A and B are shown apart, each in its own frame.
Chain A
Amino acid sequence: MPTHQLPAPIARFIRIVTWVENGLLIGLLALMVGLAGTQILFRNLLDLSLLEADQLLRMLVLWVALLGAVAASRDRKHISVDVLSRFLPARLHAGVRAFTDLFTIGVCLLLAWQSVHFVQDERAMAEKAFGAVPVWVTELILPIAFALIALRYALHLRHSLLQCCGREECR
């Protein structure tokens, strides 16, 4: 996603966010592959099954899935029905995209807000997910991911609007 037309501090912020997103996604996937493999070795060689590792692995699925969804937002790779783009003139299509971007931002902000409530509720219950990690910490990815998806679509929205107004070339 191009950041060069943004004010410098915002562009820098986006670059840092992108870097952290990528780092977390890749790191957690590596952890998942390694841990899942170790589990099998342990079970077969030492007849040992780590319950906590199972719980951690399931949590990793959620985190990797949501971080993957954030990455998909950056590249506009979400599953969608893409019929109109082939029939509409480029600028009109950019206008339609601006509208759907706005809708997506709205939904994601609402989801992020509900996720904050969800995390707060869980925090009051103070249950443990695995080891010393409370459940609410594992849920933190929900508000973070939905907020990040909203952020990505806000950046898309800017481009869609500029293209719609003819101030940026349509891709």
Chain B
Amino acid sequence: MILTGLAFVALVLLGTPLFAVIAASVLLAFSHTDTRLTVVVSEVYRLSEMPVLLAIPLFTFAGYVLAESQAPRRLVRLTNAFLGWMPGGLAAVVLVVCALFTAFTGASGVTIVALGALLFPALTQAGYPERFNLGLITTSGSIGLLFAPSLPLILYSVVAQQLNIGQPVAIGDLFLAGILPGTLIVLLLALYGAWQNRGQAIPTTRFSVREALGAAREAAWEVPLPLIILGGIYSGYFAVSEAAAVTALYVLVVEVFIHREIRLPELPRVMRESMVLVGAILIVLGMSLASTNYLLDAEVPTRLFAFIREHVHGALGFLLLLNLFLLVLGMMLDIFSALVIMVPLILPIAVGYGVHPIHLGIVFLANMEIGYLMPPIGMNLFIASYRFNKPVLTIFRAVLPFVAILVLAVLLITYVPWLSLGLLRH
């Protein structure tokens, strides 16, 4: 059994598509039982039995349409008009814009590609040192994962709901839970940006009412979006999948018919590209539904919990171990695979230690944000290296101080559950 396990790990490292490796391992595992192998495809079919999954293609499509339009430029102007006067203001602008943008595009690297070209020259022009700029933009590519309606938040809720852990893991609650930890991360990084560039002669722009009004008028169509999503959901007016449908339709009408920044003939390409990402994620989810089914049948999480409880005492010890484990995991796996493969194993154990499932979700995703910046896999490093034509090692050195701040933030998020749960208890 250990040999087969190693063989599968080797297949993953050789670059085999993850869904095929998971499918093969599940087919093999079920072939040793009396269960018919059609169980694997019947689990994939269950993708059509989860109403909330509808939100994933709709939000992703909306995110791709926004990325293709001039919305990022308008967002930069607007944020700059309101934050540009502060010391380190432009750095804060970068963080806020990237966080908002990543929330919509799901940290798939789109942020660095779409906004990097816009923000990097702006930072350089304003007089920030190059190394700082590289670090900042590379890091910004993944912050924002904790803000609604990011795909990883939705995916965590979908996976957690499969596990019958006795506590509901509603998407709406996760959306709320991410607000304070996400803001904490942006705030800490913005403070670092201001502190790091103290004493440097970086001119700040004076706050101008006229520019603020002009920027607000230009972005008037996009500004209501977060309100529509969050307001709609928390007023009970929309279900999450309905909010996604409204967002998709709204963005489509605004960018294609009002701003006319995406021409109608280009739309099919954008649609197809966005669904490539959705297909790649959902097929891994489908296969992992099958593997979760097998793991639960074989009572793997229960046995794992019994084993760990013998060696680790108390929730704090467990959480520390979890942080270390997730950091290493984040270095090896991308966030979507890590979610669908690891949450079914980790969540039952965490609940056994008395960790709230919502808190665990936030801790998990916050850890994964760091994984994006760590070699050997860290996707942001490679995208930034490609985008800015710099060696990966240079980029990695540039992000190190940012990684240190993120580690601090993750520790705070882990050991102060109130940050994640505070907004829920009202």
Contacts and interface: CB of A to CB of B under 8 A. Distances in A.
Nearest to A58: B48
Interface string B104-148: 000000000000000000000000000000000000000000000
A114 to B, nearest CB: 5
A61 interface: yes
Given A67-B279, A78-B19, A79-B334, A61 B48 contact: yes
B45 A62 contact: yes
Contact of B17 (A57, A67, A104): A104
A103 interface: yes
Q: Looking at chain B's contact residues, is the secondary structure mostly helix, strand, loop, or mixed?
A: helix
B276 A68 contact: yes
B97 interface: no
B271 A29 contact: yes
Contact of A71 (B45, B249, B275): B275
Interface string B299-338: 0000000000000000000000000000000001110110
A158 interface: no
B220 to A, nearest CB: 22
A61 B54 contact: yes
A71 B272 contact: yes
Given A40-B242, A62-B45, A111-B23, A67 B249 contact: no
Contact of A61 (B12, B47, B252): B47
A80 interface: yes
A142 B15 contact: no
Interface in B1-26: 11-20, 23-24
A66 B282 CA distance: 8
Contacts of B376: 83
Contact of A33 (B23, B238, B252, B268): B252
- Determine which residue in A22, A69, A82, A118 has the highest number of CB atoms from chain B within 10 A of its CB, and name it: A69
B275 A80 contact: no
A115 B17 CA distance: 20
Interface residues of B, number: 62
Nearest to A37: B249
B84 interface: no
Nearest to B47: A62
A29 to B, nearest CB: 5
A118 B268 contact: no
B242 to A, nearest CB: 5
A114 B332 CA distance: 31
A34 B27 CA distance: 37
Contacts of B187: none
B40 A81 contact: no
A43 to B, nearest CB: 8
Interface in A84-114: 84-85, 96-97, 99-100, 103-104, 107-108, 110-111, 114
A59 B284 CA distance: 18
A157 interface: no
B180 interface: no
B48 A62 contact: yes
Contact of B268 (A22, A80, A99): A22
A75 interface: yes
B37 A85 contact: no
A71 B276 CA distance: 6
A164 interface: no
A68 B280 contact: yes
Given A36-B242, A37-B249, A96-B14, A69 B283 contact: yes
28 contacts: A25-B272, A29-B275, A33-B245, A33-B249, A36-B54, A37-B246, A37-B248, A40-B246, A58-B53, A59-B48, A62-B45, A62-B47, A67-B275, A67-B279, A68-B277, A68-B280, A68-B282, A69-B19, A71-B275, A79-B334, A80-B16, A81-B333, A84-B13, A85-B15, A96-B15, A104-B16, A117-B36, A118-B41
Given A61-B48, A80-B12, A139-B45, 19 more contacts: A25-B272, A33-B245, A37-B248, A40-B245, A54-B51, A61-B47, A68-B280, A72-B276, A72-B280, A72-B283, A73-B17, A77-B276, A78-B18, A78-B280, A81-B15, A81-B333, A96-B15, A114-B27, A117-B36
By Cβ-Cβ distance, the 10 closest A-B pairs, closest first, are A68-B279, A36-B245, A69-B279, A65-B282, A78-B17, A62-B48, A68-B275, A69-B283, A100-B16, A118-B38
Interface of B: 11-20, 23-24, 27, 36-38, 40-42, 44-45, 47-51, 53-54, 56-58, 61, 238, 241-242, 244-246, 248-249, 252, 268, 271-272, 275-284, 286, 332-334, 336-337, 376-377
